[in-house]
Amino acid sequence: MATDTLNPAGVTSTETNTTPFVGERRKVASHINQNEGLIFEKSSPGKKAYRLSPLDVPAVDAKALLGDLAREDVGMLPEVSEIEIIRHFTRLSTWNYAIDLGMYPLGSCTMKYNPRVNELVARLPGIAEAHPYQPESLSQGAMRVMWLLQNCLKEITGMDAITLQPAAGAHGEFTGILLVRAYHESKGNPRKKILIPDSAHGTNPATAAICGYQVQNLKSNSEGMVDLAELEKLVDEETAALMLTNPSTIGVFESEIHKIADVLHAKGALLYMDGANMNALVGKTRPGDFGVDVMHLNLHKTFSTPHGGGGPGSGPVSCKKILEPFLPTPVIVEKADGTLTFNYDRPQSVGRVRMFYGNYGMFVRALAYILANGPDGLRQTTEDAVLNANYIRKNLEDLYELPYKTATLHEVVFSDRRQARNGVKTGDIAKRLIDYGFHPYTVSFPMIVPGALMIEPTESESKEELDLFIDAMRQIAREADENPAIILSAPNATRVSRMDEVGAARKPVLRWKPDAAVAPASTENSALEPATAAKEY
């Protein structure tokens, strides 16, 4: 057999003479993948990607105008031709993995497909070219988009009021807890602590701390849910709120959520819901109906706007009437004549949390998604997301340990307990999954599951893609039994093999320096030498 790209080192078992099991890659094959250096390394003095027209206005002496403030040189900017720029970034893009290339099962992140209709609508000239400084009279259409989206999101969450300003999930949390604080302050006591379950996203305790609260940890029960008796012990008159993710990070719906709300409300505390997993509830149940006072949504998760590097994100916060006076300023209101206006006269507001009105382009996409699906379509996406996650659970639970047997919704969390006996941990399995052509799942989270494999397929995946994923995971489980070495060295089929994560953390190299041997020869314009440039940076 020729050298297998999956097993380049020719890893064989030392205990037997038979060839150890190496899985068959059904989704990917090796293909040409060009090398690419940094664009700074391509720089050559004088190269240009453009040519300016001759100066046809009087020249201005910057030095005379600005004195010492005029900059002598522009620092290091790479000097390359247009086609070099195009090739550089196009090559880099081929190293990437994206939802448009395949399944992206990062648990908790909800990497669903970004429908093209969203992009079509967002590029309509009247929308794409609108400017936030246009007068309101000329912005009625743009404002109507926000108004409609607000109404849809209020309806979906069962809430009374909303702000679209926050720029992402953690920003939404921050805004939501500011509302909680302002509410308690208006009653004379901001209170001291916020309760957070041990299964929470790390952003929850960070949010509470940034808002000046002490964090009190709430242990999960054996089903991975909030322990109601424990909650009752901890809630007191100094408890500002409980921050709860529902369904939780192990994909389990808090079936006693209404009782949780009652326990909090009895002591004057509020219930904040982290809406990161709202894609498991849309069209099925509404947080406002089960006692939630304030929550954020992630438009870049639940409502299909781009996620990660393609963002930006958007984290609207919806709330009950009692919190409405504190919403960030401005809020949109409808006047008697049916036109829309921004209301800045909000004396109890926590203030502005984002320039203009938030990430408007995401509002357009989210609204397009909501209207294209309609109520029944949204309900269907929720059902499909839950079905897909449970299909994976059912097809892998004989090989991977399922720490919580509770019924799961949109994602499933396994542990690496069985594979760990052979030294194969969740991070190793994730890296091996890359060899099979899939983006890894979320590793080592949530913290309540040691060695977690957190898998969220979303509704976007077809049965065929899910079957390929399941097949890859099953082959990896067999490799873990019969040939752990090949997993421990993974990824083997990628252009860069396993990174030294520990070395990178312990001895980080934070600044690029040109390799002396390949640095271009010195030129008259020393300002453009890479060595000078590195200092600039």
Partner 1 sequence: MAYPASYRYTREHEWIKVEGDQGTVGITDYAQNSLGDIVFVDAPKVGATVEAGKVFGSVESVKAVSDLYSPVSGTVTAVNEELNAAPEKINSAAHDSWIIKVKLSKPAEVDALLNAADYEKFTSEETGH
Q: Shortest approach of partner 1 to residue 417 CB, angstroms? A: 8
Pure H helices in 59-202 = 62-66, 82-94, 116-122, 125-128, 140-157, 169-186
Q: Binding to partner 1 by residue 510, rule CB under 8 A?
A: no
Window of 61-69, 300-308, 354-362, 442-450 that interacts with partner 1 by CB under 8 A: 442-450
Number of residues that bind partner 1 (CB under 8 A): 12
User: Which of 403, 474, 481, 532 contacts partner 1 by CB under 8 A?
Assistant: 403
Q: Binding to partner 1 by residue 450, rule CB under 8 A?
A: yes
Question: Which tokens hold the place of 279?
Answer: 């894609």
Q: Binding to partner 1 by residue 499, rule CB under 8 A?
A: no
Does residue 312 have a cis bond before it (omega within 30 degrees)?
Answer: yes
User: Which of 415, 419, 460, 483 contacts partner 1 by CB under 8 A?
Assistant: 415
Q: Binding to partner 1 by residue 447, rule CB under 8 A?
A: yes
Q: Binding to partner 1 by residue 335, rule CB under 8 A?
A: no
Rank residues 131 and 506 by Cβ distance to partner 1 and give the closer one.
Answer: 506
Could you write out the three-class secondary structure of 480-525? HHHCHHHHHCCCCCCCCCCCCHHHHHHCCCCCCCCCCCCCCCCCCC
Rank residues 311 and 403 by Cβ distance to partner 1 and give the closer one.
Answer: 403
Q: Binding to partner 1 by residue 220, rule CB under 8 A?
A: no
Q: Shortest approach of partner 1 to residue 449 CB, angstroms? A: 7
CA-CA-CA-CA dihedral for 503, 506, 512, 518, to nearest 10: -40
Q: Binding to partner 1 by residue 444, rule CB under 8 A?
A: yes
Rank residues 386 and 443 by Cβ distance to partner 1 and give the closer one.
Answer: 443
Rank residues 312 and 403 by Cβ distance to partner 1 and give the closer one.
Answer: 403
Phi-psi region of 129 (alpha: psi -120 to 50; beta: other; left: phi over 0): alpha
User: Which of 129, 345, 501, 524 contacts partner 1 by CB under 8 A?
Assistant: 501
Report CA 525 to chain centroid distance, whole Å: 44
**Cα(340)–Cα(400) distance, rounded to whole angstroms?**
54
| CA distances from residue 515 to 32, 446, 475 in whole angstroms, order as listed | 26, 42, 42
Half-sphere exposure of 171 (CA within 13 A, CB side): 20
User: Which of 52, 55, 496, 502 contacts partner 1 by CB under 8 A?
Assistant: 502
Window of 68-76, 166-174, 443-451, 472-480 that interacts with partner 1 by CB under 8 A: 443-451
Rank residues 125 and 508 by Cβ distance to partner 1 and give the closer one.
Answer: 508
Q: Binding to partner 1 by residue 430, rule CB under 8 A?
A: no
Could you write out the three-class secondary structure of 253-287? CCCCHHHHHHHHHHCCCEEEEEECCHHHCCCCCCH
Binding interface with partner 1 (CB under 8 A): 403-404, 415, 444, 447-450, 501-502, 505-506
